[in-house]
Amino acid sequence: MDRRVIPSPMDTVFEFDYAVQAEDMRSLYEKAKRDQWNASRDIAWDTPEPSDGRTLADELVDIYGSPIWNKLSEKERVELNQRITAWRLSVLVYGEQGALLACSQLVDTVSGTDQKFFQATQVMDEARHNEVLERYIATRLNGLHYPMPENERVLFDSILSDSRWYIKTIALQLVAETFAVSMFKMMAECAQDPLLQEICRRILQDESRHMGFGMLALPEVIREASPAEHREMEDFTCVAIEKVLTGFFPVDAYRDMGFSATQIREVQAYRRDVAARNDYAVFRKYFKRDMHAAMVSNLARIGLLTERVRPRLAALGIELPSAA
Ligand SMILES: [Fe+2]
Ligand SMILES: [Fe+2]
C-alpha cells in the first residue's frame, strides 16, 4: 500500500487581522525562521559508514544480552542491528509524514495569524524531517522500510479525521512530540553512526519548538472548556499516550532474520521480563524517565493532569509526583 486516504471534515478560518496578537507565539515563529536548516546542504552525507556496520547501539535491540542474542554470530548481530534501526526509523518517518499532514490542517483550522504563521513553519520542518530520515534509510539501510504499526496508524487516523484543532494539537504537539523529543535525544546519544547522530540532533532542535506550540496554544482552550469537553480532552490524551507507549514491537524485523514463531515469542517474553525489572541499558532507562517526567510536567502545565488522568497514567507505568 503506497498511500492511504483519510476523510477529514474541517472548517478553514480565513484571518483578516495580521498584526501581532500573541507575542510569545510570534517569537516562536521568529525562532523557527531563524533556525531553518537544509537537509541537502547542512548534513554531512559523505560521513564514512561505521566500520562494523552498526547504526545504533546493540543495547537498543530488545534481545541484547539474552540467551538468544548470545547464540547469534557477529554477522547476524549486525544484520539485526540494522533491521531494528530500519524498523525504528520507519516508525519515525511515518510519524513525520503524519505530522506534516496534521500541521497543514492546523494552518487552516487554527484561529489567529500568529498561530497560522507558526504552523506554516512546522509544515516545512516536518517535510524536512520526512525527507532527511527517508534519505538516511535510502543511503545507509538499502531503502529497507517496515510497515506502519497498527497503533501508529490508528493514532494518526484519529488526529487527521477530527475537525477540532485542539484535539490534533493534544495528540501531536503534546503527546507525540513530547515522546519524539525524548526519543530523538536517546537516538542521538546511542547512534553508532555519526551521520544518524547528526540527523537526530538536527530534528531535535525543531521538535522542542513544536512541543512549545502546544504549551502556548492549549492552556486557554483547556481552561475555557465545559466539563464535558474537558473530560473528552482528558480521555483523548490518555488514549494518545497509551497508543504512543504500547503495541510497538518489531516483529517483522525478527521474522526477516529467520526467527521462528517460537523464537519470536521468546523474544517477547524476554522483552516483557526486562521491562518488568526495569533492567534496561542506561540510556533506555534515562529515556523512559525523561519522557515520563516531560509528559507529566507538560500535562500539569496545560491543566490536564487531573484526578481522572492520574490513575490512567499510573496504570501505564508512568511515575507521578504526589498530588499537591
Ligand atoms: Fe518532526
Ligand atoms: Fe515535530
pLDDT for res 277: 81
Cα of 183 vs centre of ligand 1, distance in Å, is 11
Q: What is the reported pTM?
A: 0.95
Looking at residue 45, its amino acid is: W
pLDDT value, residue 57: 93
- Looking at residue 9, its pLDDT comes to 86
Q: Which residue has the higher pLDDT, 208 or 309?
A: 309
How many angstroms separate the alpha carbon of residue 190 from the centre of ligand 2? Answer: 21
Cα-atom radius of gyration of the chain, to the nearest Å?
20
C-alpha of residue 289 to centroid of ligand 2, in Å? 21
Average pLDDT over residues 142-157: 95
Q: How far apart are CA 77 and CA 72, in angstroms?
A: 6
pLDDT at 324: 52
Using an 8 Å Cβ cutoff, are 115 and 24 in contact?
A: no
Nearest to 163 by CA among 230, 224, 214, 106: 106
72 CA to middle of ligand 2, Å? 37
**Residues near 235 by beta carbon (within 8 Å), at least 6 away in sequence:** none
Q: Element (H or E) spanning 138, and its range? A: helix 113-140
pLDDT tens, residue by residue, 40-73: 999 999 999 999 999 999 998 989 988 999 999 9
pLDDT higher than 80, residue 283: no
Ligand 1 centroid–CA 92 distance in Å is 8
All three cell numbers of 48, joined, read: 564514512
Tell me, in angstroms, the distance from the centre of ligand 2 to residue 85's CA: 20
From the CA of 121, the nearest ligand is: 2
| CB count in 10 Å sphere of residue 288 | 19
| pLDDT at residue 52 in the model | 93
* CA of residue 263 to ligand 1 center, whole Å: 34
Ligand 2 centroid to residue 185 C-alpha, Å: 13
Q: How far is the CA of 203 from the centre of ligand 1 (A)?
A: 7
Residue 264 pLDDT > 60: yes
CA distance 56 to 226: 47
- pLDDT, one tens digit per residue, over 200-248 is 999 999 998 999 999 999 999 999 999 999 999 999 999 999 999 887 8
Pick the ligand that lies closest to the CA of residue 118. 2
Check residue 278 and give its pLDDT.
76
Average pLDDT, the chain: 93
